Amino acid sequence: MPLTAQAQQWYQARVAAGVRPLYTRSLAEARAADLAEIQASGGEPEPVHQVCELAVPAVQARSGQPIPLRLYRPTDQSGLPVLVYFFGGGWVLGQIETCDAVCRRLANLAGCACLAVGYRLAPEHRFPAAVEDCADALVWLTANATDHGLDPNRIAVGGDSAGGNLAAVTAQAAPAGSLAAQLLVYPNTQYRADTASLQAIDDEALFNRRSVDWYWSHYLNSPADGADPRVSPLLAAELTGLPPALVITAEYDPLRDEGERYADRLAGAGVPVECRRYDGVPHGFFTMSGVLDESGQALAQAAGFLRRSFAR
């Protein structure tokens, strides 16, 4: 279907404003523009009961550096389940602030805490830096959950775009049975995936196949890294026993098909999977609740999935 009326309005505004593709900007320009655009389209951030700045101590991180964390609590209730959330941005852009609105909304809707992870970015820190930070954050949370009023037996991982990739990779590496769920929002799942959506989405006003290539070029040390399942979770030999998954994709997204392929592989391995494609919207729509109705719908779907998963 064509872009929805709201998405078309957003698209025309970008064209009229002469928004430049990220791959034509300097790294500093791309980072500044990414945060500004997400905050502008994310709507007014919802209040939550409490927001705490935390960190994985340097001595507990493989990097030898503290890993910034931000904990969102919807209530003062003890023993809350928790979603560990990894922001998007192609492993190059983004920061905890990037997913602030999403974490607030999911915390309130799902009745769970959200822990946002400030993993290291490429190209300053290429693969596997982000993977290590996300895994180290999960280990820290599991060991320290009760100290922060959280339930170590009800932990899920999630993220959007590159954050969805990191969530999938983290779920694969986690001990069997240790996670309640994985929320994968238009995730990258295969380096240089040969898919129809990757070839078809080439509009410069949208996130397109050249945007994808730009991210990969900054994240990987060499193309050979792309064969590593910690880069391309779709290439993992075994997916049996992974936690239940919700995979959300967007019609106008070069990553659409590889996300859906991953959902199919999970289902084939016996993993409970819900997969929903949102038609008429672009990559990034999940963070655009101030602009697109579909964002609110997807957030509500994600929250319902988390509630059911934590209840199990």
| Active-site residue set | 161, 253, 283
β-pairing, 113-117 with 67-73? antiparallel
Before 123, cis peptide (omega within 30)?
yes
DSSP string, 200-267: H---TTS--HHHHHHHHHHH-SSGGGGGSTTT-GGG-S--TTPPPEEEEEEEE-TTHHHHHHHHHHHH
Residue type, 101: A
Strand partners, 72: 51, 114
Dist. CA 253–CA 207, nearest whole Å: 7
The 3-state DSSP class for residue 68 equals: strand
3-state secondary structure 10-40: HHHHHHHHCCCCHHHCCHHHHHHHHHHHHHH
Which residue in this structure is represented by tokens 């994808």?
212
Determine whether 209 is exposed, middle or buried from the number of CB atoms within 10 Å of its CB (0-12, 13-18, 19+): middle
Closest CA to 279 of 255, 253, 261: 253
